Structure formats: structure tokens, C-alpha cells
Amino acid sequence: MASMVVSAFTGVLSSLLSKLSVLLSDQYMQRKGVRRDIELLSCELTNMNAALEKLADMEKLDGQTKVWRDKVREMGYDIEDCIDIFMHQLGQGDDKDGLFHKIARKIRELRLHYQLANMIQDIKACVEEQSKIRDRYRIDESISTSRVVVEVDPRLPELFEDAKRLVGIDGPREEITKLMIEEGGSLSGQIKVVSIVGFGGLGKTTLANQVHAKIKNEFECSAFVSVSRTPYMPKILKDILYGIGFDGKEAEDDVQKLVKILRAQLTNKRYLIIIDDLWSTRDWRTIECAFVENNNGSRVITTTRIQDVATACCYPSGGQVFQMQPLNELQSSMLFFKRLFGTQDGCPQQFRKISNDMLRKCKGVPLAITSIGSLLANQSMHVEIWEKIHNSIGSELDTNPTLEWMRQVLSLSYNDLSHELKTCLLYLGAYPEDSVIQTNVLVRKWIAEGFVRKRHGLDLEEAAENCLNELINRSMIEPCFNAHGEVQACQVHDLMLDLIISKCKNENFITIIDRNFTMIGALEVRRISHQFHNRDIALVFERMSQSQIRSYKFFPAADCMPPLSKFELLRVLDMDQRGSYVRPESMCLDLSAINNLFLLRYLRVQGFRLVLPKKFGKLKYLMTLDIESTILCPLDQFSDFTSLSSLRHLTLPRQFGNVVWINGLSKLCNLRTLIHFYIRTSNSIRCIRDLGELTSLRELDVSYYSGPGDVEDDPDTILSASLDKLGNSNLRLLYFHKFQFDGRPLSTQFWSNFITCPQHLQRLRLTGHIIPKVPNCIVHAGRLAYLEGLRVEELGRDGIQVLAQLPCLIYLELRAKTIPEKNIIIHPNTFPSLKHFDFSCGLSFLTFESSAMPRLQILNIDLDACEEDTMQLQGEVQLVASRILLALKKSTCSYESNAIIGSQED
């Protein structure tokens, strides 16, 4: 059976072949003639799929080939839709017993199989019609699939820091800072504008952000906003308002009133405003009206790719244009070689000449350098391969230092991707400019759309994360790191987004409804990204065949949408009202009829008051249900999620008590993620016990309400047993919250049985719990990297030694009430991986011996000293802090001196 995978280039032909194989089973097949027709169809479509894959690797196709390719791809979508509807109808029969119901069910099945025979004949005719003109395009199938697990390049945080903060940024940052400050070193005087101009990829936004970070404390308020090519002026003005700290109710979408409010807020204030990515003088003239000239030394920075816009920003305010320059030869080679070899001096001699030739073509543009470097990093280390890549860049890099030759660089990297990675990348075209895309949202959508397939040893989520990591490693998308250095989101560079959108249009992959959208005839639409409300939007949807839409993404900029009942074959539905400056309680979304979308695989709703169906029985394919940032109405509404047998990720609302659980939780046997799950002692004991049956669970965020409950059994014991069973199976992440901080604490016996062998646990967060001592089970947590919120009554030497020996521990947040030994010693070579240590205690001494915590980067110590001891401790703490900092400066790998922080007992 072929893998069920969807591609931007071959459509659903691979998935369709799998479904045709299912139709050949005895459950569906009752006529021999139909079986023969389906077998012929499968053979023909297999050849067509191979031809489409080959055509996808060709950069240029003649017009007739494109027409044939597009017709075959869209034909595949239509055929799959027909089969999906048939399978759904066949499964909708009456399950009641009795002779009459059995006869009626049999008659219905015969009628449906007769309809299937007719449908197959129609499909066969369509395929034969395309086959007649196919011969001249027939190409042998050639597929290669990698099954290697891809990790995020560990050098990426340093790479992005070098590319955007260190390499070539110091000089321009100091120069612009000097332009912003008067000769006397003050920020007094009239408002001043500095406009940074240069073509895409030079780092204008990064430079502006660096200047903003350096001088913003000199101002009473500041804001950093992005404009983009298709700006919505009310949103931009509101972003400035919220950036400067305004929290009142502003006029909705009235530009004139918003400008008045902004002027009122900025009056008599010294302000710093960054306007990023301006594309027109008209937009600047509107924004400029909001800036008050109050002689307080306010400053404005703009960035743009267009010289005329930069000049307009600086006139007549007497501002200055800063021309962004490319990196020089030394900076370029530093960035290029660090991406490839880790160090500037690591390039082998045989690659020096070809590397210098490539760097000359990149013209010092950081985006081009990192793109080419990432492309080469994924190739074999052969001079011939590098020369081939160098020669294929083309003459544009030598002759045209504008957007077009940059697109050539990006296209070269894009063309080197596999079909699967190209499809995943093109899906990012559904997001507007400057979007910060959460990685867990993205990979789950890829899975729901069928873009990724299982690999040997990898499940769907791991395969999807593989694709994400590969795109990051190739610098096709930019990662956003959290405080722990983990990739939690990503962004797409504007130039790359331009390339993606153009290819989405060429492949009819995503239809973007924005300000520039125009109707051209009747549309065959498969995926919609709805980014803007158009008064004629109703006409737009009337001219679409809405039943064929497979994915609908609704952004805050859109304030209307068609009835969901029209989207009969929808697979992905993502509605996000957050950021629209409309209070969630004013937007009610009724999804009580969502069961009609029988193919739905992904449902995410954010920023609405939400009405859910009481039962989800018909959504048998639903894999992700995310309603985190919603308010359910009524608050205690009953929704039975237990029938969602395919569910893999369930994120519930944050509000306590919004979901009433009943028995049957164990039916969600495929669940991997369960977030904001609330347990009350008044809950069904069976519900708490069933939690332990979810042995596929990887991530669990559970809140325990420890107030009085009317239950026969001891809920603590049952909860402990359930968590222990999860911890001993597949659990990687556990956030365990105590909802009521002044409620009954969990017993010592509970913590003794709390996950006896957490062999797979990587992250543990405990909120509101005070534990007698460090749990013994921690000694078995060999993969634990993050331990947050650990509060113990008593911290003994045994407890600290348990923590000190954890090989993977990176982050530790520890609070102790008492220290029996009066002294905590951090011995040499302990905490081998720890980078961040937060310690709060009422202890006598804390001693760091030489070479303790060799990788430590951040150390926060909160002394629980009583008030009269504060002055006595101050000098000693400052001395010790200086010694610790000195040790860190000397070596990031080890401490060269002891560090002792002393305090008196409370």
C-alpha cells in the first residue's frame, strides 16, 4: 500500500492510491468488474504520480506540460473527495437490530455499491482522457528517501547571534546611536528621525532592534512595530499604543481617532518609536501624524528597502538617512566559515578559493551568506560539488544587487530540498509577514494535512519535527529561541516569504485572501489563508466550490467568515482571534455542529467565547483539539471528548473547571499531549484512575485541586498510582500544579510513590507543592533536563547529591526551608550539564568548590535572611558575587575559586 502523503506538486495521488487499495478489500468490494477497474486505475495513477514527481524537480516546464500537470493534480483531489464521501456514507448505516433494520441496511449498502460502480466508471474515463496526452511527458520514477534523524544544529544560537548581533553590527549600532544623541551627549531638543535603508537581507531590522535595546531606557516609553507591504493602518496605530503601555479602550479601526489618542498619550513624554519595514511614503505620512513635537528629545527610527521612502521620513524634520552597508570581506568570511566549519580558521586549504568566489557573489549580504553556507553544509565535502553549486548561482549575483539576484540565492537553496520539505516550507505561505509561528502548531498541521510520513523508528510527530529541524538547519526559516535556548517558534524572512507565495500560486497550493486579493474566474481552491475582511468576501466564497476546501486559516485581520457547514471536506480549521483588540467575550463562536465536518483532523480555536458540541462522536479522524485561549460558555458545559479515539493532542482552556470530565478517559488511547487537565477530589475516582491508562502520553499538564471532596477512596493514592504508571511508560514532560495553594498538602506517601522510575522524563515542573524532601525517584531520572519549582521542607546532603549526579540537568529551580547540616557544598565535577541555577534558602553557608557546575552560565541566589541580618550580609554577598563573576569570566567551563554565601538562620 502506498504511503498516505500529500504534496504541493503531486497533490493527493499518493494518498489516493492508498484509498484505492482500501476499496479493494472485501468490506467495500462486491463486484468483480469494479475490482478490475480499480486495479487498472491504481496502475495508471501510480505512473502519473511518478511523472508528477519528476516534473516537480524540473525548474522550467513548457506551457502544455504545466497544463497537464495541473489537471492531473487537481483530478487527484477530486477523486479522493469522491472516495471520502462514499466511505463516509457507507459507514453511516443504522446499527439497530431487527429484521426490518437489517433489510433496510442491506438495501442501502447495495445502492451505495451501485453508486460506487458508476463513480469508478466516471473516474476511469477522466484518467483515460489524461492518459491519452501523457505519453510525451512520461518520465521514469526516481525517489530517494532519507531516514536519518535530524537534530537542530547546536551551533544555531551562536550562529544567529553572530549573524545578527556580532558580525558587523557593532559599528553601525554605535553610529546610529551617535546620530540619535546630541553633541553634548543628551537626548534633548526636537524630535529626530533616522531612517535605515537597504535591500532585503542586510539586517536593517536587527540593527534597529539593537539600537532600540541600547537606548530605550533613556526614554519614558518606546514601541517597535512592523508595517510590511500590505499594512492595515488601524492595527499599526494600535500596536504603537499598546507598545507605549496604553491599556484603555481605543476607537475601533478609526484612523483619525487613533491618531488623536496617540498624540494625547505622547504629549509631554520623551518617546522612542521604531517603524520597521516601510514600503510607501503614504503610509509614513499617516503614521507621522501621531508623533507630537514636544521638544523633549523624542526619537524615531524607520527601516525601509526604498530610498525615496527613507528620504521622505527624514524630510522636513532634519533627520538623517543611514545607508545600510553589506558586510566587509573579513566579516563575510567569519560568518561563512563559522556556519560551515564552526570556526573562522577551520576551512581546509582546498576549499579556500571556491569559498572566496562564493563570498564575492554573495556581496556581503548576511542572508545570502547564511543561505549558501547552509546549502553547502548539507552537501558532501567535494570541491567538484561546490563548484557546481557556484556555477549554478548564475550571473544575476554579479550584475544586479537587488531583490532578483537574492531570490536566485534563495531559489537555489529551495530547489535543493526534497519534495516533502518543499511542501512543508510552502505551507508557511499561509502566515502573514512577521508572523511568529509556534512550532508545535506547525508540525501538527503538517501531520493533519498529510505532508509527512512515518520513518523507520520515528512516529509522525518525530518525522514532522525532523522536517522542521532540517528547514532550520538549512536556514530556510529562522528559529525563535526561548530562555532555555530551545526552538519554540520560527519566522520566515520577507524575501523567502515572497518566494514561497509565488510558488504557492504557481502550484495552486494556498489561496491567500488579503488586501491584494482579486477574483479571476471561478476558483479551484484547496487551502485558504483568510487574512483580511473584504466587503465582497461573500461573493468570493460564492464563486468558490467550498466543499473542496481542505484547510481554512482565519487570522485576526479577518472579521467575517462563511458558514462552516459549507466546508464539507475540511481537514484543518484554525481560527485565531487573539491580537484583534476585540475582547474574547464579545466574540461567540458556536461549534455545536462541528460534527458535520467528518474528515476534520485539526481544530484550533483561540480568542473566542466558544460553544462546543456535547458529543464528538462523528469526528473519528480528529488528531488535534486546541482550545487553550477560549472561554467556554456556559463555563460548566459538558463535552464528551472520550469518543475521539484518534485524538493525539488535547489542549483544554486555562480556566479552572471549564470542562466536566466523565468516565471513559482511558478510551483516548492514542493521546500524546494533555494540557490544562484539572483534577478535583470531587471528580470520579475512575477518571483519575483512567489517567494512568493513557500510556502513550508524552506531555501532561495537570492541576490538582486539593480542597475537600466527597469520595470514598483516597484520591491521592490513586493519583500517585496513575502518575507512576505514566512516568514509567512514555511521559517526557510533566507540569504538576496544585490549584489551591492553601488547601490540603499531598501526603509523604504520595511523594514516595510519585513516578518511581521516570526513565523518559525530560522536564518536570511542580507549582504550589511543598515536598518533605527531594524525591528518591529523581535518582532514576537520567534524562531530566529541566526541574522547575522544586520546593522542599528539608534539603539534606543526600538530596543535593541526588540532584548533583543527574547527567542531563540543564535548569534547576530549588527552594529549601531548612538545611539540617547548616552547610551545602557543591563538590567538583557535580551538576555536569547545569547552565541555570536558581536557589532560594534559609541556610548558613553555600560553598562552591573548584570546578563545581562546570557549564554554569546563570546563577540566582535568594537568601532568606531576616531583616536585621540584611545589612550584615550585604558586604559579604557583594564580595562573593564578585568572586563568582570573576570565575565565570575566567572560564565558562570551570570555577577557579571557591564561592561562599553566608547568612544567619531566621
**Confidence tier at 873 by pLDDT (50, 70, 90):** very low
pLDDT given at position 403: 52
Cell of 73: 493534480
Q: Note whether 55 and 69 are within 8 A (CB).
A: yes
Q: Helix, strand, or coil here: 592?
A: coil
State the Cα angle at 257 between 256 and 261, rounded to 5°. 120
| pLDDT at position 901 over 50 | no
State pLDDT tens for residues 158-213. Answer: 445 544 555 788 889 999 998 887 654 556 678 899 999 887 778 888 889 889 98
Name the more confident of 743 and 312.
312
Name the more confident of 784 and 334.
784
pLDDT given at position 144: 37
pLDDT given at position 870: 42
What are the structural domains of the chain? 7-136 (no CATH), 169-323 (3.40.50.300), 417-506 (1.10.10.10), 807-905 (no CATH)
- The whole-chain average pLDDT of the chain stands at 79
Strand (E) or helix (H) holding 881: helix 870-890
Cell of 175: 553610529
What distance separates the 2 farthest-apart alpha carbons in the chain? 98
State pLDDT tens for residues 814-857. Answer: 999 888 877 788 889 899 999 999 998 865 567 888 888 999 98
State pLDDT tens for residues 571-617. Answer: 999 998 776 545 545 578 888 888 889 999 999 998 888 888 888 87
- The residue type at 554: F
State pLDDT tens for residues 380-429. Answer: 678 888 887 777 665 444 454 545 666 766 777 788 888 999 999 999 99
Nearest to 204 by CA among 305, 130, 104, 334: 305
Buried b (16+ CB within 10 A) or exposed e, 164-191: bbebbbeebbeebeebbbeeeeebeeeb
Q: What is the 3-state secondary structure (H, E, C) of 157-185?
A: HHHHHHHHHHCCCHHHHHHHHHHHCCCCC
Nearest to 726 by CA among 703, 701, 752: 701
